[in-house]
Structure 1
Amino acid sequence: MSFRYAYCNETLAPGRTFREQCDLIASLGYTGIEVAPFTLAEAPADLSANERASLRADAQAAGLDIVGLHWLLAKTVGFHLTTADAAVRNATADRLIELTDLCADLEGSLMVLGSPQQRNLEPGMSRETATDHAAEVLAKVAPRLEERSVTLALEPLAPSETDFLRTCAEAVALADRIGSPRIRLHQDVKAMVGGEAEAPAEIIRRFPEQTAHFHANDANLLGPGMGDTDFAPILRALKETGYDGWVSVEVFADGPGPVETARLSLEHLKAVAATL
């Protein structure tokens, strides 16, 4: 099998139109783009049907698939997954429903729910209560996910980033509680390296059926091959477990610059995959 590689657009967005981002990502050899909503508009409602159609056309003209959305609640106010404030939880469910519609309108099929600042435990709140609140929000979103054929992938993050949903096992337990086929697990190399007791390859092999999406990056916040993480066992585990989703490169640090980071990341992934 061969992997499908996408690139997360936010580091390439400043100073570039969406069409320019798509053209650049395609020129580097990627076949998909994963979109942070804040790079498109302040809120999903700000994008008209014509503007959504134009974004779809931009990606298609570049030869890219729009994989979906990530950083769903980044650069927003008034949204929180686990808060004790019922009104805020309701608003969060509404925003996730709006994002589901945006994702489907762009012909994407998945959304990655990370956004650590919008899920951290409030002072004095137990993990059990926080989980109840998160389940309540997600249960309200599930019907729209199913209606629009969009998968919401729950992203565990390292303890350095959040105090809620820090392991793949926790994310799977929450998804199982909802019981929707459209709420599944997202795996991120940086997070697995920083927050799990097992090696990434072992975790991949433990949750093959639950994993909907995969982010490739390094603990140093740069791309594959730019840090100490060995991607050979990671890609081997994905291959041997039959993972057929996207491998999206998501980076956070500048390194040699956003374009060079995107180029080097894909070169490394392809080189490692060729040895399997």
Structure 2
Amino acid sequence: MNPEALHREAGPHAAAGIPSPGPATTPRSSEAHPLRFGYGTNGLADLRLDDALALLADLGYDGVGLTLDHMHLDPLAPDLTTRTRRLAHRLDELGLSVTVETGARYVLDPRRKHGPSLLDPDPDDRARRVDLLIRAVRVAAGLGAHAVHCFSGITPAGTDPDTAWKRLAETLAPVLDAATRAGIPLAVEPEPGHLLATLADFHRLRRSLGDPENLGLTLDIGHCQCLEPLSPAECVRAAGPWLRHVQIEDMRRGVHEHLPLGAGEIDFPPVLAALSAVGYQGLTVVELPRHSHAGPHFAELSLPFLRHAAAPSQGSTS
């Protein structure tokens, strides 16, 4: 039964416009679920993809957040199916799991960051974004990925909110259909400054689409610190039933700037304990795209940091 219908009691979740997780998110077992850590290729943009994957495997990561981009499995170049099959074999050789991410800055338009979006006034432009996301679904199916990540985009100037929300639901529908047929969860990310910016916004979209089973959530822990009314750990608990992908970095309240772990304000042990407690079994992927110039350095530092922070929740001494 839908936990939103079961748990509407007053409290911080209700005040934030977020359904209370209630007992429905309690793990069936009292044992904590071990967390699996990855690193995003958007933070390793100066490396060839194979070099980036080999680095992450050597460092001990469990997987990778693969951003489809011109330098890393270009989704618009020829022979995508063949290149995807080759990459699947390489990931298997290295023992790396994968989530497919679609946040490349200029993969569709060399002059507009993240453009065109699902909200663009021009239907042909919206269709280009839809095509990219459906290509990402096919790649994810070929790689055996945990999920496909996406986001709404910024509301265009002159577009009223009701029109923007209607466009978002309409443009996501064929992507969701493709993901459902492929058996790959579609994980929408609340992004500061976008139409869909918060957990409450995710639930608005979910309800407008009729609560489809295959529509899930990408939760960025830094974004929770930046603008959510709940703490990051409380966000994890509230998001539990819909959680399909997690991105992680440090951040400060009110400032959307991805920081290396330990350089911001987030208290990580409670966050990782909450992820373990809600039974999250996907990848928790470090996202530091603006630190790509020193990507190998931050990849090396981030995994020990996360393992240490997760130790209380996983019974680990590492």
Q: TM-score, normalised by structure 2?
A: 0.78
Instruction: Say whether residues 1:209 and 2:246 are aligned partners.
Output: no
Q: How many residues align?
A: 269
Equivalent residue number for residue 61 of structure 2: 30
CA contact (8 A) 1:68 1:103 kept: yes
5+ residue gaps, structure 1, are: none
Letter in 2 for 1:59: L
The 5 Å alignment of 1:109-148 reads 109-114=146-151, 119-148=153-182
Instruction: Say whether residues 1:93 and 2:130 are aligned partners.
Output: yes
Q: CA deviation at 1:165?
A: 1.0
Instruction: Say whether residues 1:271 and 2:281 are aligned partners.
Output: no
1:267 to 1:222, Cα distance in 2 relative to 1, 3 A: same
**Greater mean alpha carbon deviation, residues 187-196 or residues 78-87:** 78-87
CA distance in 2, matches of 1:149, 1:213: 15
- 2:87 aligned to which of 55, 61, 69: 55
Equivalent residue number for residue 181 of structure 1: 213
* Cα deviation digits, residues 4-25 of structure 1 (max 9, x gap): 11111122242x3322211100
* Cα deviation digits, residues 204-254 of structure 1 (max 9, x gap): 112210111111101152332333311011112212222222111111333
Q: TM-score, normalised by structure 1?
A: 0.89
1:73 to 1:98, Cα distance in 2 relative to 1, 3 A: farther
* Cα deviation digits, residues 23-45 of structure 1 (max 9, x gap): 10011110101111103244345
Instruction: Say whether residues 1:12 and 2:44 are aligned partners.
Output: yes
The 5 Å alignment of 1:63-102 reads 63-71=95-103, 74-77=106-109, 79-102=116-139
Select the structure with the greater relative contact order (CA < 8 A; seq sep ≥ 6): 2
CA distance in 2, matches of 1:252, 1:72: 10
* Cα deviation digits, residues 158-188 of structure 1 (max 9, x gap): 2xxx241110110122123223222211110
Letter in 1 for 2:163: T
CA distance in 1, matches of 2:293, 2:310: 23
User: Over aligned residue pairs, what C-alpha RMSD do you find?
Assistant: 2.1
1:69 to 1:213, Cα distance in 2 relative to 1, 3 A: same
1:93 to 1:253, Cα distance in 2 relative to 1, 3 A: closer
1:201 to 1:67, Cα distance in 2 relative to 1, 3 A: same
Equivalent residue number for residue 283 of structure 2: 246
1:47 to 1:182, Cα distance in 2 relative to 1, 3 A: farther
CA contact (8 A) 1:225 1:265 kept: no
Q: CA deviation at 1:256?
A: 9.0
